[in-house]
């Protein structure tokens, strides 16, 4: 019988939620890595028992954890936990080393908030994306924005430096939350194609396995920029695709919900009748490529739902026409946020949709969003939610 495993990263540890295909009763395990920020954890499509986890701390740095038994036990690839002075854990920031001359020319700085040159500094891993075909291969999107790859299960990481070195890297500036590469989408029909998104540089695509990259931001407009339609500098919050139509990409931008049908060569706005088109997360129904979900947030300064009502919005037309989904969600005095990596879908016949909030709730719907139920209510603030469909 099929089952699901929901991987939840929070401000104070990782939690693993499991259920059968009915998704009515849940077992909750955790916290793993209690007290640490878990920006993201995700399982391998090639081997569901292989899970990669980004364990981060402002005090102790970055650690990559790996499980080979579905999250029951964990190991630090390449050896045990290193200890620093006083026996405290040491991060592994040195495992993510920037190439300072990615194209044969020096690239040592990007722009800071005030436009001055600022050195590239590794801070943390925002997103981990396992290969679709090899459990030992995975990609890491990091802050300051760069893309790294491992081919040995996370023991070593090497930068795909063509991204930063393609020509615009020196002009990238951080968004409010930092200069983070937060989205990595692998094209299931073309192993050489990949989409990534960076706050606040924009969206980029490679068609040759990461050797070369191009900005794909034509059609985006960002009023906060000196040139609102510039090639780079847009604060893209999240991208999503359906596996059957990888040329169609949906985007939640700082403001605006966007869509492209030609792999990013041209975007158009599909915000339609949304009450506000600011938000962070976006995802696509597993079996309906034109059914899209977002969670509108009031504004870029007030990160909570409009009128204190938590509402998921669904479009069954690929955008433009949206309907609020409220059954089972709090409709008064709710002032939580839903982060960019905190929504996902399973692939069961009755597609499940999941999202987590900064209030520590994780909600699920087993009927396309028509109604919602909380799996858990009182976790630490949720940073990411991923789901594995287990056969």
Cis-peptide, bond into residue 200, ω within 30° of zero = yes
Tens digit of each residue's pLDDT (9 = 90 or more) over 95-115: 899 998 877 778 899 999 999
Which tokens hold the place of 72? 């029951």
Per-residue DSSP letter, 273: T
Tens digit of each residue's pLDDT (9 = 90 or more) over 103-161: 777 889 999 999 999 999 999 999 999 999 999 999 999 999 999 999 999 999 999 99
Q: By 3-state DSSP, what share of the chain in percent is helix, strand and coil, each rounded to 5? A: 5, 40, 55
SS3 (DSSP) at 87: helix
pLDDT given for residue 91 in this prediction: 64
Per-residue DSSP letter, 228: T
Mean pLDDT of the chain, nearest integer: 95
- Beta strand 245-253 with 257-260: parallel, antiparallel or unpaired? antiparallel
Closest CA to 282 of 236, 324, 336, 240: 240
Report the predicted TM-score, pTM, of the whole model to 2 decimal places. 0.96
Distance of CA 372 to the CA centre of its chain: 22
pLDDT given for residue 59 in this prediction: 85
| Res. 379 pLDDT band, cuts 50 70 90 | very high
| Res. 84 pLDDT band, cuts 50 70 90 | low
Dihedral of CA atoms 266, 269, 270, 275 in degrees, nearest 10, equals 160
Closest CA to 292 of 190, 386, 368: 368
Distance of CA 390 to the CA centre of its chain: 21
CA distance 12 to 201: 29
Q: What would the mean pLDDT of 4-13 be, rounded to a whole number?
A: 98
CA distance 84 to 279: 40
CA distance 38 to 62: 10
Backbone angles phi, psi at 357, to 5 degrees: -120, 165
pLDDT given for residue 83 in this prediction: 67
pLDDT given for residue 81 in this prediction: 59
Cis-peptide, bond into residue 144, ω within 30° of zero = yes
Which tokens hold the place of 233? 């500098």
Q: What would the mean pLDDT of 315-330 be, rounded to a whole number?
A: 98
Lowest mean per-residue pLDDT among 10-24, 78-92, 164-178: 78-92
User: Is the Cβ–Cβ distance between 166 and 152 less than 8 Å?
Assistant: no
- Planar angle of CA 118, 222, 176, nearest 5 degrees: 45
Closest CA to 183 of 154, 204, 163: 204
pLDDT given for residue 222 in this prediction: 93
Q: What would the mean pLDDT of 270-297 be, rounded to a whole number?
A: 98
CA distance 251 to 279: 10
């Amino acid at each position: 019988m099929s089952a699901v495993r929901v991987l939840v990263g929070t401000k104070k540890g990782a939690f693993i939620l499991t259920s059968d295909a009915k998704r009515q009763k849940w077992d909750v395990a955790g916290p793993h890595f209690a007290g640490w920020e878990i920006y993201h954890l995700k399982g391998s499509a090639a081997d569901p028992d292989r899970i990669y986890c980004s364990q981060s701390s402002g005090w102790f740095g970055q650690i990559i954890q790996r499980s080979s038994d579905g999250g029951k036990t964990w190991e630090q690839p390449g050896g045990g936990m290193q200890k620093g002075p006083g026996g405290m854990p040491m991060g592994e920031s040195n495992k993510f080393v920037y190439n300072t001359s990615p194209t044969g020319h020096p690239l040592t700085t990007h722009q800071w908030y005030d436009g001055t040159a600022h050195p590239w500094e590794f801070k943390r891993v925002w997103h981990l994306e396992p290969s679709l075909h090899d459990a030992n291969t995975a990609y890491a999107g990091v802050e300051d924005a760069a893309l790294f790859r491992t081919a040995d299960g996370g023991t070593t990481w090497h930068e795909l430096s063509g991204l930063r070195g393609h020509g615009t890297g020196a002009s990238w500036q951080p968004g409010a939350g930092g200069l983070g590469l937060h989205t990595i989408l692998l094209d299931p029909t073309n192993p050489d194609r990949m989409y990534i998104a960076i706050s606040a540089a924009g969206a980029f695509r490679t068609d040759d396995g990461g050797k070369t990259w191009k900005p794909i931001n034509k059609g985006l407009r960002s009023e906060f920029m000196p040139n609102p339609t510039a090639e780079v500098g847009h604060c893209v919050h999240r991208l999503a695709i359906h596996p059957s139509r990888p040329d169609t990409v949906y985007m939640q931008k700082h403001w605006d919900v966007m869509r492209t049908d030609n792999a990013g060569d041209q975007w158009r706005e599909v915000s339609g009748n949304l009450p506000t088109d600011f938000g962070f997360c976006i995802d696509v129904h597993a079996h309906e490529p034109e059914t899209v979900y977002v969670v509108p947030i009031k504004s870029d300064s007030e990160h909570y739902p409009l009128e204190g009502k938590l509402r998921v919005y669904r479009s069954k037309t690929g955008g433009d026409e949206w309907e609020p989904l409220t059954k089972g969600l709090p409709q008064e005095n709710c002032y939580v946020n839903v982060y960019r990596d905190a929504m996902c879908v399973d692939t069961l016949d009755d597609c499940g949709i999941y999202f987590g909030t900064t209030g520590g709730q994780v909600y699920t719907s087993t009927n396309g969003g028509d109604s919602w139920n909380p799996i858990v209510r009182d976790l630490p603030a949720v940073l990411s939610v991923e789901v594995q469909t287990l056969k």
